[in-house]
Amino acid sequence: MLKLENISLNFDEFSLKKISFKVAGGEYFVLLGKSGAGKSLILEIVAGLVKPDKGKIILSGKEITNVAIQKRQVGIVFQDYAIFPHLSVKENICYPLKANKIPKHKREKIVMDLAEEMGISKLLHRKPSTLSGGELQRVALARTLTLNPKCLLLDEPLSSLDVQLRNEMRDVLRKLNKEGLTIIHVTHDYQEAVALAQKVGIIHNGSIIQTGTLKEVFHTPKSKFVANLTGIRNFYNAEIVSNKKVVLEKKVEISTLPIIDNSKEGFIFFRSEDVVISCDKIDSSLTNSFRGTILTIIPTISGVEIVVDTGIIISSYITEQSVKKLNLAEGKKVWVSFKATAVEFIGR
Amino acid sequence: MQKQSKFQLVIIFLSGIALLFIIAPMFGLMFSSSVSQLTETVADKEVQNSILLTLTTAFFATLVFSIAGIPLAYILARKEFPGKRLVSGIIDLPVVIPHTAAGIAILGVISRNSVLGKTAGAIGLDLVGNPVGISIAMAFVSVPFLLNAARDGFVSVPVRLEKTALNLGASPLRVFFTISLPLASRNIASGAIMMFARGMSEFGAVVIVAYHPMITPIMIYERFGAFGLKYAQPVAVIFVSVSLIFFIVLRVITDRKTD
């Protein structure tokens, strides 16, 4: 669907180096990286706002690297929304329809339908200066969607919203994606990737250092940077069975804090630092305890990572002293425990 | 605290002097003529025609040169090209040279022997001593106000909005007319008003291009030279009043439109 091949761009103090990735039709692709990594620049290159020095962009089998911005059929929503301040909400949404000479009676219907879908019908006659950030974003999204773009590019779409609005916007984005829209979403927040992505690309200093499914990237980070960025080794498909019980990978049931989320499925993750290893079962406040076998012991910069098979694979970070004290070795049977409060759930 | 208040007193005193410097002569002028003198001057056909000529020539100068000047201002705001600084400097040239010299320069361009003069002559138009010539002279000395204000206006429009409009399928021409121009319109309007004001108050350049038909600044000078201060004052009062009313009305209209 969308393919970037060896896109390079040099500035004085920053450069994009041979950026290549593929996004399949209908896929939700999240580009994850710290600020200044070059994420937004990639979106602008795909949209045609910035010309790369080298490389190709292919959309639906056609090369669009040198196609004019207005003919690319790629919609972009900026972090600051870029709503035209002198036009009303309705005029903003109508703008692309007028620019593309859609007849008036069709324009009305498209605007009304999209406003309804985005929940902004009541705002149509307002001026942008009177809207909140969340409302502006919906207007920007509605405006971009009027022309049915082949691919939607989102620059940090959730970062400036409060928790409530963020959840609502996640639902909107999921719905759009389910309806078949290909989405590339740029963010610095791995939780957004977890909540939305089918595939992720990790970008660092102008290079893409890993792409793959969420599990591939989180379970087998190709570099220390990726591991630190996501920080998550214990990452599982989850099914809610009750308010405080979740089944991981259809194998192991764990306890959590009460889950306030309407979804039935999602992901569970917890940090390796929160996992305790012991030789015997301990009587403590740790509500989740499982017996398993140590698969590997991997030295890291800050200590040691112990990987235990308990039916699901669980990783724990402990100190070298603890390894010696407990006499840990590969193949040894141990108990792994973690608190319900250490567990995070993100619904899908 | 004591020092602060003394400092403030000095500031207020100096500000008062600066303001008085502008207000006092204007105030003096406004009360220099009797009501009967003023009514007599208002009824004077020569004065009426002169004010009308001044307003229309300044208006057309602003209108015609806006059409040509605004694209130049846009290019200066958006494009990088070799010699851009030189072009910006050239734009300010009419403001810094003596206006009589500007008049001489204009005369060279529009005289009967010049290319422009000959072309105009071919359709029976003599630019020297003609309202068209007056408009050209007014525009020459006043167009920098419009160009600079319009350029600043375009600079203040975020490039991102223009790019967003392109991304939404608008052509560059459409983006200019629907995004860039409306968002820069406040600056452009204020530049146009300044250009109009500067044009209608021009004396030096116009007097060389056309003594007749007589625009009001020249009429004031002529009456002063031929008959003395008392005869020049009522014309000046009326011209200043008309100008003030015009600017206030224009400001109100443009402010409302851009709000």
pLDDT of residue B140: 94
What's the mean pLDDT in A244-254? 89
Minimum mean pLDDT range among A157-161, A229-233, A321-325, B185-189: A229-233
pLDDT of residue A110: 95
Contact A296, A337 (CB under 8 A): no
Does residue A28 surpass a pLDDT of 70?
A: yes
Residues of B within 8 A of A78 (CB-CB) are: 160, 164
A316 touches B at CB < 8 Å: no
Q: Model confidence over B20-44: pLDDT tens digits?
A: 999 999 889 988 889 999 999 999 9
What pTM did the predictor assign?
A: 0.80
The verdict on residue B205 lying in a domain is yes
Q: Model confidence over A90-120: pLDDT tens digits?
A: 999 999 999 999 999 999 999 999 999 999 9
Nearest CA in chain A to B184: A86
Residues of A within 8 A of B182 (CB-CB) are: 86
Here the tokens at position B228 are 């003395």
The alpha carbon of residue B148 and the mean position of all alpha carbons in its chain are separated, in whole angstroms, by 12
Burial (0-12, 13-18, 19+ Cβ within 10 Å), B121: middle
pLDDT of residue A130: 95
Minimum mean pLDDT range among B2-11, B97-106, B217-226: B2-11
Contact B181, B18 (CB under 8 A): no
Domain harbouring B76, CATH code: 1.10.3720.10
Does residue B256 surpass a pLDDT of 90?
A: no
The verdict on residue B204 lying in a domain is yes
Residues whose CB is less than 8 angstroms from the CB of residue B111 and which lie 6 or more positions away in sequence, other chains included: B117, B127, B128
B181 touches A at CB < 8 Å: no
- The superfamily CATH assigns to domain A2-230 is P-loop containing nucleotide triphosphate hydrolases (3.40.50.300)
Provide the β-strand partners of residue B226. none
What's the mean pLDDT in A195-220? 87
Per CATH, the architecture of A234-347 is what? Beta Barrel (2.40)
The verdict on residue B4 lying in a domain is no
pLDDT of residue A283: 85
Minimum mean pLDDT range among A13-22, A172-181, A217-226, B99-108: A217-226
The verdict on residue B7 lying in a domain is no
What's the mean pLDDT in A80-86? 95
A294 phi-psi bin (left φ>0, alpha ψ -120 to 50, beta other): beta
Residues of A within 8 A of B183 (CB-CB) are: 85-86
CA distance to partner chain B, nearest, from residue A99 (Å): 5
Residues whose CB is less than 8 angstroms from the CB of residue A307 and which lie 6 or more positions away in sequence, other chains included: A294, A295, A296, A297, A298, A313, A314, A315
The verdict on residue B10 lying in a domain is no
Percentage above 90 pLDDT, chain A: 59
- Contact yes or no for B164 and A70 at CB 8 A: no
Residues whose CB is less than 8 angstroms from the CB of residue A248 and which lie 6 or more positions away in sequence, other chains included: A236, A237, A238, A254, A268, A312
A51 touches B at CB < 8 Å: no
pLDDT of residue B257: 67
Nearest CA in chain A to B170: A99
Scanning the structure block, which residue is given the tokens 């307003």? B55
- Contact yes or no for A69 and B158 at CB 8 A: no
Does residue B81 surpass a pLDDT of 60?
A: yes
Residues whose CB is less than 8 angstroms from the CB of residue A207 and which lie 6 or more positions away in sequence, other chains included: A16, A17, A18, A19
Contact A337, A288 (CB under 8 A): yes
A40 touches B at CB < 8 Å: no
The verdict on residue B247 lying in a domain is yes
Residues of B within 8 A of A75 (CB-CB) are: 167-168
A99 touches B at CB < 8 Å: yes
Cα B142 from Cα B135, distance rounded (Å): 10
Cα A74 from Cα A42, distance rounded (Å): 13
Residue B58 corresponds to which amino acid?
A
Reduced to 3 states, what is the DSSP secondary structure of residue A301?
Answer: coil
Residue A329 corresponds to which amino acid?
A
Does residue B259 surpass a pLDDT of 60?
A: no
Does residue A257 surpass a pLDDT of 90?
A: no
B240 touches A at CB < 8 Å: no
pLDDT band at B3 (very low <50, low <70, confident <90, very high): low
pLDDT of residue A224: 63
State the alpha helices, DSSP H only, in chain A: 39-47, 89-99, 104-118, 133-145, 163-178, 190-196, 214-219, 224-230, 320-326
What's the mean pLDDT in A26-50? 92
Domain count, chain B: 1
What's the mean pLDDT in B42-55? 95
pLDDT of residue A231: 67
**pLDDT averaged over chain A?**
90
Name the residue range of residue B185's domain: 35-258
B124 touches A at CB < 8 Å: no
pLDDT of residue B137: 95
What's the mean pLDDT in B157-186? 95
ipTM over 0.85? The verdict is no
What's the mean pLDDT in A20-27? 94
A90 touches B at CB < 8 Å: no
Cα A117 from Cα A84, distance rounded (Å): 21
Q: Model confidence over B117-167: pLDDT tens digits?
A: 889 888 888 888 899 999 999 999 999 999 999 999 999 999 999 999 999
Contact B204, B103 (CB under 8 A): yes
- Domain parsing of chain A, residue ranges: 2-230, 234-347
Helix or strand run (H / E) with residue B160: helix B159-167
pLDDT of residue B1: 52
CA distance to partner chain A, nearest, from residue B177 (Å): 12
Reduced to 3 states, what is the DSSP secondary structure of residue A271?
Answer: coil
